[in-house]
């Protein structure tokens, strides 16, 4: 932190942990700190990523982890031990980023007008990261001037330094009458509408309601399990796959959902050009951080399961908190082709008992040939292994749009029809009151507008330039993990499927070489015998 933050002067500015909720948990269960905290419950490896940033850490009884088990084995053992019920343990660490919250109307000229008789507050923006290629501009100010905003930041020297922006008009105070998917409509078509809707209006549609009512259904206080799909960026050819995350929380009294907790998995092996760090963080920070917020560089979509009981989202949140502890310890690594934002979340949901339909890999047979072909073509074994994993990996664990689409269809077709079996899916089926589809446009800024993400590797190839040298990408620096943080007693990470395939191909190559050598040797011996003169007696 650059300097001590001043205390909030009055009601329109409050402490980041003022009475309220963070996800499903009361804010008084946390305390503000930085990653340099010496008495925090979070693993030291997790704290290290946030050394000089603001975090909220659980005061007591935080979700733990079993250091001698792999992440999903840990979740399975914990699930059995707790008889499939959550225990009310909050995450050990939340990435908050800011000590204060301000509300009001953003005005041109760098001021925030506030309710009542409070004088306007001078505001400045947190600096743009040098690696971030776009930032807030006049079009952004015009977008946010159309209503009240919520901003996270720090009050310093009589002005407020804004780090996140969130339009309060996004509140959803009621679920409208159900408007089921019509003939020819799919969740895919809702996402793809208007080229992904980056410049469309914020919109909410009720896809299903248990009561079948035609009057608005109040949402205040309702617990939720939300599935987030972020679209493709308009200035990064590596982003067409989009991004996937899962959120938990409750609707506020006026339909607010900015304080839901989002579980965002991202690679820890490099330093993001936008400052993104894998973490559990509030929705308004996930979407609206001026550097790392998803809404600043692509459109987003949500499927919100509105529930009558918090047991399902609480179960997921405690489970994924355990997974995060393993992730920060680097017990397993983020792999774009096999263990990514979709895969980690979907695998955890399956471990909890939601049998999300499996679709298989996009081209398993082609994968077998892609490994040696790409390895030879690029003179890189890693290239061949990556190609294999992309083509072989279960699609719901590979592509965010596929995960989002499949989860939505399973909720609408199976879990609402009484076909759920047990575990998490049975809880969801019993507790589901409504399913909402939410479309969030991209915040206007100096960045190019994004679009809908791809649904297949083939579509990815069609969108990206044929020559990889023409791709628009942003180089990122590696992040070295301190060797002293690695737990030598942690179980060995499972290797991706390509590792086994490499051994198979290696065996094939050795066998082929041996067979070829044997054939050559045999032919030489045969030729040698034929060339020798026969003995006459």
pLDDT digits (tens, 9 = 90+) for 398-456: 999 999 999 999 999 998 888 888 899 999 999 999 999 999 999 999 999 999 999 99
Which residues contact residue 82 at a Cβ distance below 8 angstroms, ignoring those fewer than 6 apart?
A: none
Three-state SS annotation for 526-537: HHHHHHCCCCCC
pLDDT digits (tens, 9 = 90+) for 86-125: 999 999 999 999 999 999 999 888 899 987 767 889 999 9
pLDDT digits (tens, 9 = 90+) for 76-91: 999 999 999 999 999 9
Asked if 236 and 133 count as a contact pair (C-beta separation under 8 A), the reply is no
Share of the chain above pLDDT 70, in %: 91
pLDDT bin (cut points 50, 70, 90) of residue 324 is very high
| H or E segment and range at residue 164 | strand 159-167
Q: What is the pLDDT of residue 527?
A: 73
Asked if 240 and 454 count as a contact pair (C-beta separation under 8 A), the reply is yes
**Structure tokens, 483:** 């060797």
How far is it, in rounded angstroms, from Cα 338 to Cα 392?
9
* β-bridge partners, 217: 175
How many Cβ atoms from other residues are within 10 Å of residue 66's Cβ?
A: 17
Q: Could you tell me the CA-to-CA distances from 417 to 280, 305, 410, 420, 460 in Å, in that order?
A: 32, 15, 10, 8, 34
pTM: 0.91
Q: What is the pLDDT of residue 4?
A: 46
Q: What is the pLDDT of residue 501?
A: 63
Q: What is the pLDDT of residue 508?
A: 58
């Amino acid at each position: 932190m650059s300097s001590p933050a001043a205390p909030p002067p009055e009601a329109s500015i409050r402490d980041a942990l003022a009475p309220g909720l963070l996800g499903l948990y009361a804010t008084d269960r946390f305390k503000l700190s930085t990653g340099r905290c010496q008495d925090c419950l979070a693993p030291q490896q997790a704290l290290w990523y946030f050394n000089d940033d603001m975090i909220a850490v659980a005061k007591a009884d935080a979700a733990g982890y079993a250091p001698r088990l792999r992440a999903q084995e840990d979740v399975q053992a914990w699930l059995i031990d707790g008889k499939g019920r959550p225990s009310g343990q909050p995450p050990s660490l939340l990435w908050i980023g800011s000590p204060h919250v301000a509300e009001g109307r953003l005005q041109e000229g760098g001021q925030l007008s506030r309710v009542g008789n409070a004088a306007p507050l001078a505001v400045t923006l947190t600096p743009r990261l040098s690696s971030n290629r776009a930032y807030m501009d006049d079009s952004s100010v015009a977008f946010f001037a159309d209503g009240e905003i919520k901003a996270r930041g720090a009050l310093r020297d009589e002005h407020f330094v804004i780090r996140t922006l969130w339009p309060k008009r996004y509140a959803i105070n009621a679920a409208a009458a159900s408007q089921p998917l019509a003939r020819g409509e799919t969740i895919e078509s809702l996402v793809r509408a208007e080229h992904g809707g980056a410049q469309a209006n914020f919109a909410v549609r009720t896809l299903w309601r248990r009561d079948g009512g035609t009057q608005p259904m109040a949402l205040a206080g309702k617990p939720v399990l939300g599935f987030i799909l972020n679209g493709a960026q308009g200035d990064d050819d590596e982003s067409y796959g989009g991004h996937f995350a899962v959120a938990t929380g409750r609707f506020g009294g006026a339909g607010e959902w900015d304080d839901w907790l989002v579980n965002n998995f991202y690679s820890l092996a490099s330093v993001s050009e936008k400052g993104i760090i894998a973490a559990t963080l509030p929705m308004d920070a996930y979407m609206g951080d001026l550097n790392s917020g998803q809404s600043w560089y692509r459109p987003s979509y949500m499927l919100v399961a509105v529930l009558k009981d918090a047991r399902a989202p609480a179960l997921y949140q405690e489970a994924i908190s355990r997974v995060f502890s393993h992730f920060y310890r680097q017990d397993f690594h983020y792999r774009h082709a096999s263990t990514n934002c979709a895969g980690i979340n979907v695998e955890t949901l399956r471990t909890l008992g939601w049998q999300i339909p499996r679709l298989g890999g996009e081209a398993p047979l082609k994968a077998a040939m892609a490994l040696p072909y790409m390895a030879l073509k690029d003179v890189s074994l890693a290239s061949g292994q990556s190609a294999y994993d992309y083509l072989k990996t279960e699609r719901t664990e590979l592509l965010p749009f596929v995960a989002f689409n499949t989860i939505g269809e399973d909720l609408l077709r199976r879990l609402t029809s009484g076909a759920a079996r047990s575990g998490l899916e049975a809880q969801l089926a019993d507790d589901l009151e409504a399913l909402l589809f939410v479309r969030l446009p991209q915040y206007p800024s100096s960045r190019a507008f994004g679009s809908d993400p791809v649904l297949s590797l083939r579509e990815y190839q069609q969108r990206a330039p044929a020559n990889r040298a023409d791709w628009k990408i942003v180089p990122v620096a590696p992040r070295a993990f301190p060797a002293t943080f690695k737990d030598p007693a942690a179980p060995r990470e499972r290797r991706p499927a390509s590792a086994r395939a490499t051994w198979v191909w290696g065996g094939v190559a050795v066998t082929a070489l041996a067979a070829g050598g044997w054939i050559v040797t045999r032919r030489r011996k045969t030729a040698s015998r034929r060339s020798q003169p026969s003995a006459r007696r």
